[in-house]
Chains A and B, each alone.
Chain A
Amino acid sequence: MKSNTFQILSEFKNVAIFHRELDKIRLLSSKINKVVKFMEVCGTHTMQISYFGIRKVLPQNVELISGPGCPVCVTPIEYVDKAIYLLKKYNNIVIATFGDMFRVPGSESSLEVEKSKGKIVEVVYSPVEVIDIAKRYRNNEVVFLSIGFETTMPGISVLLQELKRLKIENVSLLVGNKFFLPAMRSLLNSLDKFFVNGFILPGHLSSIIGSNVYKDIVKNYKIGGVVCGFEPVDIVIGIRTLLEMIGNGNVSIVNEYSRVVKPEGNIKAKKIISRTFVPTESLWRGLGWVADSGAKLTNEYSFFDAEKRFSIPKNIPTKKQIGCKCAEVILGKIKPYQCSLFGKVCSPEKPVGACMVSSEGSCAAYYKYER
């Protein structure tokens, strides 16, 4: 079986199954005499839905909207400004960052602009690459821009443990990591302002936090959700399942991505996260301040906190981009093309807001595949 295992996985791209599911979606939606909106809350889903053209083949009364699932997009401008402040104020700073953050505009500048002016900015794919950067720049202070949800956090926790074990002291983290569920609850608490009939729940994030954690969404908000994989078949099965829930009035959480997501998640990864990070209040682009949705370092690892190591003003005055509607896009309140800047002054080549920069942002997805 081993030799054809990737073939088994590629069956989740099977065109015949995709179309059969689509037929079911058409039938189910024809029986529902209203517009239904399903929200995906993972940047990779946003990208895949656009890439595979799924929105275009759905019936008119089934809408897919994107929620706050792209970690770069939900990182507020204040965070970018802090990184720029460090680069400008201290001569010996090296910023290490995931590639997606590199071009995100701050109030006055971006990491890309600062690098072009001679500042040192290193892009990493994996958090553990920071160890090599620290060795290469042993006379500098390396600040890692630590962002991402629970999918990314355990890898960053491993980096912290390694830094401690190897006694590498010239590294600190500007912690902007976020816990997903408190933000999801915050979103659900503002559902009076817009409406969603079901959630396409994130596959890879759920591989860490598990599918059990979503049960209170059903209980408290009476909205169903399907944990979905990322292939086209996964996504249409998710949509079909949500329509069935609406049709029979029986909302629940279904785990479609059971080949990767377990009810309890990845227990080892969750333990590793809790050794280095604890929840704290956090600022989200779009959602504002949300209790317990952000991460801060535990006492054991607070030595690596860039905000303690350097003097960073609490409130750097921000200058928001006039006309940028990223905040509304993140909450699914408007479609990217409903922002007056979209495709005119804001494009992936010259982005104004984070949703256009990030490879998983809604605006970037619409710009590339749905214009």
Chain B
Amino acid sequence: MCIAVPMRIVKVKDNVGICEYEGTVREARLDLLEDVKVGDYVIIHTGFAIQKIDIEDALETIKIYKEIESLK
């Protein structure tokens, strides 16, 4: 039940966001987050955006692992 998916916000109207992931579009409530903007990536669980995804952080993590890989 704690399953949740990453999606990108493409439209915001009041406390509802239109989110997209690989062609799937759905609505999600934004009540649980501060300052959600179009273009933000969020984790959606039971129709609510529960946390933003820090893309810089993801990029940094992957970069570290890829660099180690290239040194192998």
Q: Which residues of A contact B (CB under 8 A)?
A: 1-2, 5-6, 8-9, 11-12, 14, 16-17, 20, 42-44, 47, 69-72, 98, 100, 125-129, 147-149, 151-152, 154-155, 158, 202, 204-205, 207-208, 233, 237, 258-262, 266, 268-269, 272, 358-360
Between-chain CB contacts (< 8 Å), 16 pairs = A1-B55, A5-B8, A6-B21, A9-B41, A9-B58, A14-B66, A20-B65, A43-B2, A126-B47, A126-B48, A155-B32, A158-B29, A207-B51, A208-B50, A258-B54, A360-B1
In whole Å, how far is B30's beta carbon from the nearest beta carbon of chain A?
10
In whole Å, how far is B63's beta carbon from the nearest beta carbon of chain A?
9
Q: Which residues of B contact A (CB under 8 A)?
A: 1-4, 6, 8, 21-22, 29, 31-34, 39, 41, 43, 45-48, 50-51, 53-55, 57-59, 61-62, 65-66, 68-69, 72
- Among B2, B21, B48, the residue within 8 A (CB) of A205 is B2
Task: Find out whether the CB atom of A8 lies under 8 angstroms from the CB atom of B58.
Answer: yes
Q: Which residues of A contact B45 (CB under 8 A)?
A: 151-152, 155, 204
In whole Å, how far is B50's beta carbon from the nearest beta carbon of chain A?
6
- Among A42, A127, A233, A266, the residue within 8 A (CB) of B46 is A127
Known A6-B21, A149-B2, A155-B48; contact A16-B32, beta-carbon cutoff 8 A: no
Known A8-B62, A17-B66; contact A125-B47, beta-carbon cutoff 8 A: yes
Task: Find out whether the CB atom of B51 lies under 8 angstroms from the CB atom of A266.
Answer: yes
- Among B2, B22, B46, the residue within 8 A (CB) of A6 is B22
A42 to B31, CA, bound (A): 24
Chain A CB within 10 Å, residue with most, of B51, B53, B57? B51
Q: Which residues of B contact A8 (CB under 8 A)?
A: 55, 58-59, 62
Q: Which residues of A contact B3 (CB under 8 A)?
A: 43-44, 47, 359-360
Q: Which residues of B contact A129 (CB under 8 A)?
A: 47
Known A151-B50, A266-B50; contact A259-B2, beta-carbon cutoff 8 A: no
Task: Find out whether the CB atom of A266 lies under 8 angstroms from the CB atom of B29.
Answer: no
A71 to B66, CA, bound (A): 36
In whole Å, how far is A123's beta carbon from the nearest beta carbon of chain B?
12
- Among A98, A149, A207, A233, the residue within 8 A (CB) of B43 is A207
Q: Which residues of A contact B59 (CB under 8 A)?
A: 1, 8
Chain B CB within 10 Å, residue with most, of A11, A44, A129? A11
Known A9-B53, A12-B62, A71-B2; contact A155-B47, beta-carbon cutoff 8 A: yes
The residue of chain A having its C-beta at the shortest distance from the C-beta of B42 within the complex is A260
A125 to B29, CA, bound (A): 13
Given contacts A20-B72, A268-B34, 13 further A-B contacts (CB under 8 A): A8-B58, A20-B69, A126-B46, A128-B29, A147-B1, A155-B47, A202-B2, A204-B2, A204-B50, A205-B2, A260-B51, A262-B51, A359-B1
